[in-house]
Structure 1
Amino acid sequence: MLIGILQTGTAPDELRSQSGDYPDMFERLLAGRGLTFRTFHVEAMDFPTDVHACDGWLITGSRHGAYEDHPFIPRLEAFIRQAVAQKVALVGICFGHQIIAQALGGKVERFPGGWSVGPTDYDFGGETITLNAWHRDQVIQRPEGATVIGCSDFCENAALVYGDSALTVQAHPEFHDDFIDGLMRTRGKGLVPDTIMADARARLGQTNSAAAIANRIADFFLQPRGTGRPATDL
């Protein structure tokens, strides 16, 4: 199954030589699960010509806010709505989680509670899932049709599912601990409070549930679903 990675940001230059860029991280996360990948750097306005150019789409994280004024955001929102209408599966991570919600009628804001950084516990239907977080924006109003499947005391809408149309997660299963540490050393200084980064560093190294989320993502992509192609295209 071919998955198009819609890249909406880039990893810091200082970390890319070791960790790769965001598409590389997702390819590692989802390796061995029956998926192949093609990247479109939509932040740089490199968009697919059609929602059926790939069998499913994965939207990455970004430094940008979903509510900010950037040329790629309205076009990406239109692509999301078209993919849902055409029954092409979507997965969104962090910014991807937020932009899908916003495109479908939800609301994203900078959270008054501040930052969530590093290993964080989420409740997935009674199962504790630990994932690395790096965000201060949140989905604060869910779109119609979105169901919460993961939450925490800090983040009410930490994971959402939209029937068989979209699966989205606020945290970063693709971020290893060393990358989180690198983000704190590069982008975190002067942006994330020192106390939050110190707490995050103290939690690095604990058991991480990235593989469990990778399985959920792959299963979501691979599940049978109807086609939205017009009959003349079949």
Structure 2
Amino acid sequence: MKVVAEGGRRMRRYALLLAANDSEYVRKVYGGYFEVFVRAFGDGDSDGGEAWDLFRAVDGELPREDEVAGYDGFVISGSPNDAYADDLWILRLCLLIRELVAMRKRLLGICFGHQVICRALGGRVGKARGGWDIGIREVAMADPLPPFRFLDAVRQGLPAPYAKITEIHQDEVWELPVGADLLASSSKTDVEVFCAGDRVLGIQGHPEYTNDILLNLVDRLSSAGSITMAFAEDVKSQLENTEPDREFWLKLCKSFLKTETEEA
């Protein structure tokens, strides 16, 4: 059934597949990661032009088979879990990813989401050979880029010759699935951005993160002994002197999720 917004437009529907539990900080300041993603990738208009739903994938909650067709696009979030692990919810998520790709649904993966999509489609994922990557990273876009319409946002708005993005990960994509295109890389991570046709996009960094979310995560990792105090201080110092090109990345993600295609 098509949901119609005011003015006769069909309401677009999106689903966030949340692969992490809400931190106390994000829940208190933002109302949870769902709100962070909707603020970042949603239209933010008041005319009811789109709707977002939350599925807590990390708790085994995924859309039913009869619900999938009703969505225009899906976003898979980051996670502290390993995309190459064999937890039941991760294996079920891989099956759903293959189903979404077969149905030609738009699928955007962020960090863990980027990695688990690669795994599900036949790529290889593992521990980052260079260890933790945390902070603001300069990402170089491929030249030339594939001729997909959603990439017009890159062609027209690249800060040049690179775009800075927020990173916090210790896993990475080792090998892309057959037929996928590498869209961006960095000095730390070979596969920063990829696409598989014009309906699948993976981004290793975090376009949705604000600096305060990153700083809170750094403090938590430091307190837990996952990173050293010196490492944490270096990240904080970097954030005082540079910022991600957040608007560029948000424009790319929105363009991907909402650009119509000739096949649509």
What is the TM-score when the length of structure 2 is the normalising length?
0.81
Higher helix share: 2
Alpha-carbon deviation of 1:188? 3.5
1-structure distance, mates of 2:31, 2:247: 19
- 2:148 match: none
Letter in 1 for 2:71: C
Which residue of the other structure, out of 178, 182, 186, is the alignment partner of 1:148? 182
2-structure distance, mates of 1:120, 1:35: 32
Letter in 2 for 1:41: R
1-structure distance, mates of 2:174, 2:227: 21
Extract unaligned runs of 5+ from structure 1: 228-234
- 1:181 match: 215
Task: Describe the SS at the equivalent of 1:185.
Answer: helix
Question: Is residue 123–residue 129 contact of structure 1 (8 Å, CA) maintained in 2?
Answer: yes
Alpha-carbon deviation of 1:171? 0.4
- 1:191 match: 226
Which residue of the other structure, out of 182, 191, 208, is the alignment partner of 1:157? 191
Alpha-carbon deviation of 1:10? 1.9
Q: Deviations over 1:80-133 (max 9, x none)?
A: 011111110100000000000000001110112100101111112453111111
Alpha-carbon deviation of 1:16? 2.4
Pair 1:79-2:90 in alignment: no
**Further displaced range: 14-23 or 157-166:** 14-23
Alpha-carbon deviation of 1:53? 3.1
Which aligned pairs between 1:126-141 and structure 2 lie closer than 5 A? Answer: 127-141=161-175
Pair 1:49-2:64 in alignment: yes
Letter in 2 for 1:6: L
1-structure distance, mates of 2:243, 2:221: 24
- 1:88 match: 105
Task: Describe the SS at the equivalent of 2:53.
Answer: strand
Task: Describe the SS at the equivalent of 1:204.
Answer: helix
2-structure distance, mates of 1:114, 1:97: 18
Alpha-carbon deviation of 1:194? 3.1
Alpha-carbon deviation of 1:35? 4.5
Q: Percent identity?
A: 28
Tell me the number of residue pairs that the alignment of Structure 1 and Structure 2 aligns. 227
Pair 1:7-2:39 in alignment: no
- 1:210 match: 246
Q: Deviations over 1:176-200 (max 9, x none)?
A: 1111111111134310233332221
Question: Is residue 21–residue 58 contact of structure 2 (8 Å, CA) maintained in 1?
Answer: no
What is the TM-score when the length of structure 1 is the normalising length?
0.91
- 2:9 match: none
Letter in 2 for 1:3: Y
Q: Which consecutive aligned stretches of 4+ in structure 1 deviate over 4 angstroms post-superposition?
A: none
Alpha-carbon deviation of 1:12? 2.1
Extract unaligned runs of 5+ from structure 2: 1-11, 143-159
**Further displaced range: 30-39 or 123-132:** 30-39
Q: Deviations over 1:154-207 (max 9, x none)?
A: 100000011112011000111111111111111343102333322211111423
- 1:166 match: 200
**Further displaced range: 24-33 or 213-222:** 24-33
